[in-house]
Structure 1
């Protein structure tokens, strides 16, 4: 069943009728389906070793009854043969055990590898809203802690269950064959133990779910507070002690849950182990009572063989009970993993979706009667409720090669508009079209080659400059990288570094200034060579010098491309071919800079707020105040510097 996520809890919610324990178990077992051949080999190895293990007590019986304690003294020849058989069985079992361990280890790790790959790939397909509503630490916890938590169970459980079951069944049959009377004594309390085990398992499963949830919270705290941004924020506001206390509180909760999880069932296992430890003494007593009544069916060899089997039975039964509890625990973790795998990506290719080759793209962009709103999640277990409209009945058209600017007050919907072009979200009504084709009719894989983005905060990996640039074009040559850096106005700076393009930029690029990061991001877009470029306030956070350098780089990358510039600083878009002014998700006016100033609407108001009312009056009086972003006539020093 498809699930959504809860913003309040930053964890996927579990809807009514969600996958239950039985279904979770079946899905966990299904993970082994691709490895049937290896499972067969493991099963054969287990059957052989278990069968050999059951033979040994019968050899022991013959040693006592037929070779050692016989009239006339020990029969050395038979004794030697029996002992040799016992040694051979032990050696063969050990060799098979090595192979079995290898097979089970490889199998378990391959299953976990496949599960991690599947989960990571599924998360990559989730749309942007999932990641804005879910803490990164919680996602990492699913991949690391939850998958890691079931790894040992997956690695050992299948072989352990089969091996122990075969051993138990074979041992029980052998014990009944030796003496049904003594078997009744040995098995009398097993049903009680099974009932107790089921109850303990339920408790452990609940504790395991709470433990992993706490571990997820700890991972989120660690990821948020120990990142460069988190540490910087804590130091600036003097909140280090608060963060230490927050982590310590969650760590204390985690420790308490871990202790409870470990100790749950220990009393139960102590009772089981004690019972089986006392059984041999009870068996000896019952054997003595039977002998006193004249029952000669229990010989010394039978008694030794029976107690050997009973001792051998102790370990697989206890192991089965432990494995059963581990399975109960792992089901809670599998349930958390499957919650993420059950989330349905909202952005998927339509059955008839087709790619649009970059060489064939002209760069025409059209919004046709677009309505869009972000989903607002309700309480866990309830369907998502729609939020307010971010865009309402929006229509606009951008010709190929045009520089189109989008302006408006904060919260007007500018960034939302820019996110719809590369299809980071889907519209609720209407359509966004590239070259006349609805983006939903194009394959998702083809869109990144058509639409490139430079955002206000350019993300860089903790890697070298060259590796960050090659993220856009993995096959780019060194010369292509240098050419892109020159076009982005950053080559001189990079070549002046001690390690040049092999310089590690640090987490999120913190070793670089804001302007340097932006120019590297521009160089990365140049390498991608998109037909349509989206600039989401790419210079709004920069100082004047950095803005000038970035603006020069942007002029290079915009050449010959359709460009959509989301602008906060109006000085950066004065020469735009067309300017769209939006407010509260609606297009309120469009035109050139001069046309919109003369109209005296929203754009003129925004312009006046940035440059002063005198700038608008001067523009209207002089006819032309700006051309290509340069001041021709200055009525105000502030106007000139701002421009």
Structure 2
């Protein structure tokens, strides 16, 4: 079973060297651009380092000696250095943003691709909002780190090294006095980073909770449920509480260590005054410690050193905080994919459509098997209906054919080939599933139909819609096939949505069809209309129909009754009625429900 991914795996792994190496590997495809950025940073830092020495020469030589020629050239050089530094910073930022956004794109695609290959079981265990939060909030949360922080770390480090070198060249005694305080500042930054990392992990968990709540309550189904049960105000109060907790965590995260950083800023603001004070005392005692030009140049470098040093400490804090987000992102990328395609998969040529269950067993949890020793054969072009009480394993049996789950015992074969040996493309071309829950995108009717066959012509769409008994309704709409179906198709009735799903499957044209209680949630009249479309779809195909209402499967070539995950009875409708066993009991119950006019809620068997 897949591990629980709703919680981060821990701060320890977040700061491990392996984690940092993994982040660094994200940039390997763009090492050429990174090399160019490093070159620009080096050149820009060199220009920045030259500027104080130009200032020193202006104050100590050009002005005292009234050397206008030298003053002119030093001023021009200062202008060139300033412009070159500014241009270099723009180029560096441009390249860093390009590389950063490419890395962000790669991360999003990698997570989405990983999730798309997860089995159905993963999504039944995971909140939709949690998945969205990982893709949107977690990856979005590392945007500034990936785009700016990495480039800033390199640029600020280079600038800081150049500034320290310049300070040492100007006066090593003053330089040592200033640099002695740096270890204290680094320690402060690291402690703040640890604090923010823990807060960031809690913040992302809370953000996922808020995202999930919005996803669940603001969908059409959620709004409908809330309004009909009068739970709207309660949902608002619940959201208010979740949002308040998120706001508190955001404030705590942003303010963590602010006072400590403020103390560093104050200290750096005082240091130039201390340098001037020390130089003034030396001059008053008759010992000129440094020249005026050197003193001004030194304090200029010192002030310039403050910016990259503070930026480095802030970047370090941000990088440590982002480790919690990277842990969550890598947690998804490391999810075990339990349904995979073989290295050399098989394909089916001309499909006959024989489906065979050979002593099949399946369990969602090892201690509680869902299916046991299922031994069935569906001949090509015939139909098999599967009935049974809720929880007997009906839906699971059908999903094993489409390989939405893998068997834990035995084999499921199509034309003698184990479905686990088939390529995904061959399997999806062979097996089509019409579920009781029809999913339509917020797009046009034509776009929803073309999801099954992107290159389908308008004529093919109309042919498929006619086969599904839905063309006349679509044609009556103001915009016809260009009508937007609305969120999850709520502009259409249940029967209309089911017929759109059937039309989609007609376009797909699979030789093997699994009908998963496709009419269980419909009223009797609509059920008859949809059933007629399903009968047309199933004609000439191998069909496995998971049935809730037995009136829809009387004409099946064989009917299988599941009880407790085992085959309890098997035969035609007439044979099973004559047997007077479980099928007859289910049939009697179904007749009572039909007479009473009840329509049960669809529940996967």
Q: State the TM-score, normalized to the length of structure 1.
A: 0.91
Using the TM superposition, give the Cα deviation of residue 610 of structure 1 relative to its aligned residue in structure 2, in angstroms. Answer: 1.9
Provide the C-alpha distance between the structure 2 equivalents of 1:87 and 1:14, rounded to a whole number of angstroms: 52
Find the counterpart in structure 1 of residue 30 from structure 2: 35
Using the TM superposition, give the Cα deviation of residue 19 of structure 1 relative to its aligned residue in structure 2, in angstroms. Answer: 6.6
Provide the C-alpha distance between the structure 2 equivalents of 1:205 and 1:149, rounded to a whole number of angstroms: 13
Find the counterpart in structure 1 of residue 433 from structure 2: 453
Change (3 A) 1:18 1:421: farther
Equivalent residue of 1:389, what SS?
A: strand
Confirm or deny: 8 A CA contact 1:354 1:441 kept in the other structure.
Answer: yes
Using the TM superposition, give the Cα deviation of residue 403 of structure 1 relative to its aligned residue in structure 2, in angstroms. Answer: 0.9
Bigger mean CA offset, 527-536 vs 296-305: 296-305
* 2:101 is aligned with 1:109: yes
Find the counterpart in structure 1 of residue 464 from structure 2: 484
Q: Give deviations 1:348-384, integer Å, cap 9, x for gaps.
A: 0123322224xx1111101111111114xxxxxxxxx
Find the counterpart in structure 2 of residue 181 from structure 1: 173
Find the counterpart in structure 2 of residue 367 from structure 1: 357
Find the counterpart in structure 2 of residue 307 from structure 1: 299
Equivalent residue of 2:410, what SS?
A: strand
Find the counterpart in structure 1 of residue 582 from structure 2: 602
Q: Residue 49 of structure 1 is aligned with which of 26, 41, 44?
A: 44
Find the counterpart in structure 1 of residue 553 from structure 2: 573
* 2:230 is aligned with 1:238: yes
What is the correspondence of 1:433-512 to structure 2 with a 5 Å cutoff? 433-512=413-492
Confirm or deny: 8 A CA contact 2:14 2:323 kept in the other structure.
Answer: no
Using the TM superposition, give the Cα deviation of residue 392 of structure 1 relative to its aligned residue in structure 2, in angstroms. Answer: 0.8
Contiguous gaps of at least 5 residues in structure 2: 600-605
Provide the C-alpha distance between the structure 2 equivalents of 1:171 and 1:555, rounded to a whole number of angstroms: 81
Q: Residue 143 of structure 1 is aligned with which of 130, 135, 138?
A: 135
Q: Residue 339 of structure 2 is aligned with which of 316, 340, 347?
A: 347
What is the correspondence of 1:625-636 to structure 2 with a 5 Å cutoff? none
Using the TM superposition, give the Cα deviation of residue 434 of structure 1 relative to its aligned residue in structure 2, in angstroms. Answer: 0.8
Using the TM superposition, give the Cα deviation of residue 611 of structure 1 relative to its aligned residue in structure 2, in angstroms. Answer: 2.3
Find the counterpart in structure 1 of residue 368 from structure 2: 388
Find the counterpart in structure 2 of residue 166 from structure 1: 158
Provide the C-alpha distance between the structure 1 equivalents of 2:494 and 2:135, rounded to a whole number of angstroms: 32
Provide the C-alpha distance between the structure 2 equivalents of 1:313 and 1:18, rounded to a whole number of angstroms: 33
Using the TM superposition, give the Cα deviation of residue 180 of structure 1 relative to its aligned residue in structure 2, in angstroms. Answer: 1.4
Confirm or deny: 8 A CA contact 1:46 1:159 kept in the other structure.
Answer: no
What is the correspondence of 1:56-455 to structure 2 with a 5 Å cutoff? 56-70=51-65, 74-357=66-349, 360-375=350-365, 386-455=366-435
Provide the C-alpha distance between the structure 1 equivalents of 2:532 and 2:453, rounded to a whole number of angstroms: 23
Find the counterpart in structure 2 of residue 628 from structure 1: none
Using the TM superposition, give the Cα deviation of residue 421 of structure 1 relative to its aligned residue in structure 2, in angstroms. Answer: 0.5
Provide the C-alpha distance between the structure 1 equivalents of 2:198 and 2:78, rounded to a whole number of angstroms: 46
Confirm or deny: 8 A CA contact 2:506 2:537 kept in the other structure.
Answer: yes
Confirm or deny: 8 A CA contact 1:112 1:151 kept in the other structure.
Answer: yes
Provide the C-alpha distance between the structure 1 equivalents of 2:458 and 2:107, rounded to a whole number of angstroms: 37
Q: Give deviations 1:149-201, integer Å, cap 9, x for gaps.
A: 11011111122111111111111111111111111221221111111211111
Q: Residue 519 of structure 2 is aligned with which of 531, 539, 545?
A: 539
Bigger mean CA offset, 446-455 vs 226-235: 446-455
Provide the C-alpha distance between the structure 2 equivalents of 1:462 and 1:612, rounded to a whole number of angstroms: 39
Confirm or deny: 8 A CA contact 1:406 1:564 kept in the other structure.
Answer: yes
Provide the C-alpha distance between the structure 1 equivalents of 2:44 and 2:367, rounded to a whole number of angstroms: 63
Using the TM superposition, give the Cα deviation of residue 25 of structure 1 relative to its aligned residue in structure 2, in angstroms. Answer: 1.6
Confirm or deny: 8 A CA contact 1:353 1:441 kept in the other structure.
Answer: yes
Change (3 A) 1:294 1:17: closer
Equivalent residue of 1:394, what SS?
A: strand
Confirm or deny: 8 A CA contact 1:182 1:287 kept in the other structure.
Answer: no
Provide the C-alpha distance between the structure 2 equivalents of 1:610 and 1:505, rounded to a whole number of angstroms: 33
Q: Give deviations 1:527-556, integer Å, cap 9, x for gaps.
A: 000010000111111112111111111111
May I ask how many residue pairs the two structures share in their alignment?
599
Confirm or deny: 8 A CA contact 1:371 1:393 kept in the other structure.
Answer: yes
Q: Give deviations 1:117-167, integer Å, cap 9, x for gaps.
A: 111011100111111111101110111111111101111112211111111
Alignment RMSD: 1.9
Contiguous gaps of at least 5 residues in structure 1: 376-385, 614-636
